[in-house]
């Protein structure tokens, strides 16, 4: 029937939004239709996004619908890489200066780190992106999540100094996925700081593998055997406190870079075999901006 055709079209639209992580937009579109809202809950369950399931069920009283589903109807979350598989000792939330100094000292002692950042999505067409809310830096043992908004408000000079020590260190290999794009967003968000204008020893994993599709999740699946669950990508990164799921998502995005690099470094095309020992090293880039002096606040 025509009604069923309309429902199928609307479901298809919700599914596309969910796959992009645009849960808030999907919720607005499903709001006036109970069946569509139930389908959105199902999509969240299918993605393993139980935090969103609980949120929607509480808001729209859909606990009965969830309880009616049989286990086979929900896809197993084991298809995704989980943080516990990377054996991280700790996720450290950093939102005050003493924590910033301590984290900086720890990171300076690392040889290899993964770097990523997140900001709240802006769905207004033509509007500027929101300010970067957090930056994640991970070693193979720890992940630090820096609350950039609060640290900048509290002591921009200390923030600038600490991140210059990290980003401009020639002793730390900094891994990212399309990281130069993130650095551009950081410099746009915090233009008064010089720490995001220059960098040393940056290795973009995307360019190293010449990946044009699939993103970091696809690369993780190819190298480590499991992709990343990206359903939380477009959540509200400015809310405080962040949920535990948000923290784990953020930490995983940075930590997986280190594990991908360690996994492939010993492979023939990236290791010492066949005379190609400098293959990955040839992709390291630096950018030193000598035009500006450290900012005075």
Angle at CA of residue 26, ends 128 and 182, nearest 5°:
35
- pLDDT of 279 > 50? The answer is yes
| Residues 44-64, mean pLDDT to the nearest whole number | 84
Instruction: Tell me: pLDDT of 207 over 70.
Output: yes
Closest CA to 176 of 130, 112, 264: 112
For residue 44, give the H/E element and its range: helix 34-46
Residue 98 has pLDDT above 90, yes or no: yes
Cα 220 from Cα 222, distance rounded (Å)? 5
**Does residue 291 or residue 154 have the better pLDDT?**
154
**3 state SS for 49-72:** CHHHHHHHHHHHCCHHHHHHCCHH
SS3 category, 171: coil
**For the segment 227-241, what is each residue's pLDDT rounded down to a tens digit?**
887 767 777 899 999
DSSP state of 77: G
pLDDT tens digit sequence for 60-71? 999 888 888 755
Task: Kindly provide the b/e burial profile for residues 98-108, where b requires at least 16 CB atoms within 10 angstroms of the residue's own CB.
Answer: ebbeebbeebe
Q: How confident is the model at residue 276 (pLDDT cuts 50, 70, 90)?
A: very low
d(CA 63, CA 186): 41
Which range has the worst mean pLDDT, 74-78, 253-257, 276-280?
74-78
Q: Are 165 and 105 in contact (CB under 8 A)?
A: no
CA 15, chain centre distance (Å)? 21
CATH superfamily of 83-287: Ribonuclease H-like superfamily/Ribonuclease H (3.30.420.10)
Q: Under a CB-based contact definition with an 8 Å cutoff, are residues 232 and 245 in contact?
A: yes
Compute, in degrees rounded to 10, the torsion defined by CA atoms 223, 91, 140, 164. Answer: 110
Give me the pLDDT at residue 182, please.
92
What residues does each domain of the chain span? 2-75, 83-287
Q: pLDDT grade, residue 275 (50/70/90)?
A: very low
Residue 210 CB neighbour total at 10 angstroms: 6
Q: Express each pLDDT in 65-93 by its tens digit.
A: 888 875 544 544 456 788 777 878 899 99
136 pLDDT band (50/70/90 cuts)?
very high
Question: What is the predicted pLDDT for the residue at 168?
Answer: 96
Which whole number is the average pLDDT over 97-116? 98
Does residue 201 have a pLDDT over 80? yes
């Amino acid at each position: 029937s025509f009604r069923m055709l309309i429902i199928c079209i609307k479901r298809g639209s919700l599914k596309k939004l969910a796959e992009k992580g645009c849960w808030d937009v999907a919720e607005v579109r499903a709001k006036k239709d109970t069946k569509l809202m139930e389908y959105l809950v199902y999509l969240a369950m299918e993605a393993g996004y139980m935090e969103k399931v609980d949120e929607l069920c509480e808001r729209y009283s859909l606990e009965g619908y969830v309880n009616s589903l049989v286990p086979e109807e929900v896809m197993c979350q084991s298809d995704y890489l989980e943080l516990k598989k990377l054996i991280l000792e700790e996720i450290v939330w950093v939102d005050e200066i003493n924590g910033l100094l301590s984290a900086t000292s720890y990171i300076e002692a690392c040889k290899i780190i993964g770097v990523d950042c997140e900001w709240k999505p802006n769905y207004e067409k033509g509007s500027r992106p929101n300010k970067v809310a957090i930056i994640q830096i991970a070693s193979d043992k720890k992940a630090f999540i820096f609350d950039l908004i609060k640290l900048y408000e509290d002591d921009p000079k200390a923030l600038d100094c600490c991140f210059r020590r990290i980003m401009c260190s020639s002793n730390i290999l900094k891994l990212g996925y399309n990281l130069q794009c993130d650095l551009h967003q950081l410099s746009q968000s915090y233009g008064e700081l010089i720490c995001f204008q220059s960098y040393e020893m940056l290795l973009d994993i995307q360019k190293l593998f010449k990946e044009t599709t699939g993103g970091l999740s696809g690369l993780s699946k190819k190298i480590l055997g499991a992709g990343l669950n990206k359903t939380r990508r477009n959540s509200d990164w400015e809310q405080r406190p962040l949920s535990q799921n948000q923290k784990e998502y953020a930490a995983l995005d940075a930590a997986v870079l280190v594990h991908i690099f360690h996994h492939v470094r010993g492979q023939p095309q990236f290791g010492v075999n066949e005379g190609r020992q400098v293959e990955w090293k040839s992709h390291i880039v630096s950018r030193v901006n000598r035009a500006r002096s450290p900012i005075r606040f």
